[in-house]
Amino acid sequence: MDIAIQISNLDLFYGAFHALKNVNLAIEQRKITALIGPSGCGKSTLLRALNRMNDLIPGCRTTGAVLLEDKDIYGPAIDVCELRKKVGMVFQRPNPFPLSIRDNVTFGLRVAGRKNNASLDDTIEKSLQDAWLWEQVKDKLDNLALELPLDQQQRLCIARVLAVEPDVILMDEPCSALDPISTAKIEELMLELRRRYTIAIVTHNMQQAARISDYSAYMLLGEMIEFGVTTQIFENPKDKRTEDYITGRYG
């Protein structure tokens, strides 16, 4: 199997708090890997360690290695902006910028130095189509993105990431602010995106992990308890603690 991201012996501290404890995990290319576990187990922290969003938190310290294309993203020669173009992120609450739909989609390209003109039109259409949003917004690309309904805002945030053509997409509970119908649509979209992108998703919703992910990782108190093929994790967990969580006896 082809590995997109290899995490080895990763420890992470928020000041004195040991948030991730010696985590090892391989995220496979063009598969969906779900991180599950109770609140505060470190799954979001782990996800945000993969594009170094934790750098924004004062007092956050990391040891160990996260290899992307055989290079440690915590190494000295890494440009964090370049890293974040390769490893895109979709957040818990849809956070389109207070700009037009067009400017939202082109944001990542403009950041990379592309001029905002007609040469971006193809990318805009393709990204929105890939996020299943083109039909709804094609006639109002210059409207404010904040006027869209919440589920379309979230798909716009996905389109915004797709426009940069990342290798990996990180999703931090992307459906937790959405209703069940919108959730189903995003899940279906993720399965479609899996053909071309590696996806890592944090979710509170175990049914969601079971429905869409190829691999699941169960975390507890900052430790990686068990990692494996999703069907195995859910039907035949090896660790007692995983079983307790899956069957609802814990968490």
Residues in contact with other proteins by the rule CB under 8 A: 51, 53, 56, 58, 81-85, 88-89, 91, 93, 95-99, 107-108, 110-112, 144, 146, 157, 160-161, 164
For residue 47, give the H/E element and its range: helix 43-49
Closer to other proteins at the Cβ: 85 or 241?
Answer: 85
How far apart are CB 238 and other proteins at their closest, in Å?
Answer: 35
Closer to other proteins at the Cβ: 92 or 136?
Answer: 92
**Greatest Cα pair distance in the chain:** 57
Closer to other proteins at the Cβ: 59 or 76?
Answer: 59
How far apart are CB 83 and other proteins at their closest, in Å?
Answer: 8
Residue 7 — φ and ψ, nearest 5°? Answer: -100, 125
C-alpha to C-alpha distance for 193 and 47, rounded to whole angstroms: 18
Closer to other proteins at the Cβ: 93 or 185?
Answer: 93
C-alpha to C-alpha distance for 60 and 37, rounded to whole angstroms: 22
How far apart are CB 243 and other proteins at their closest, in Å?
Answer: 35
CA 60 to each of CA 5, 17, 129, 133, 156: distance values in angstroms, whole numbers, following the listed order: 21, 9, 38, 37, 30
How far apart are CB 231 and other proteins at their closest, in Å?
Answer: 31
C-alpha to C-alpha distance for 82 and 111, rounded to whole angstroms: 11
Closer to other proteins at the Cβ: 83 or 229?
Answer: 83
How far apart are CB 111 and other proteins at their closest, in Å?
Answer: 4
Q: In the chain, what is the straight-line distance between the N-terminal and C-terminal CA atoms, in Å?
A: 32
Which residues in the chain belong to E strands, given as ranges?
A: 3-14, 17-28, 32-36, 60-68, 71-72, 87-90, 168-172, 198-202, 215-220, 223-229
Closer to other proteins at the Cβ: 111 or 191?
Answer: 111
Q: Which amino acid is at 1?
A: M
How far apart are CB 223 and other proteins at their closest, in Å?
Answer: 26
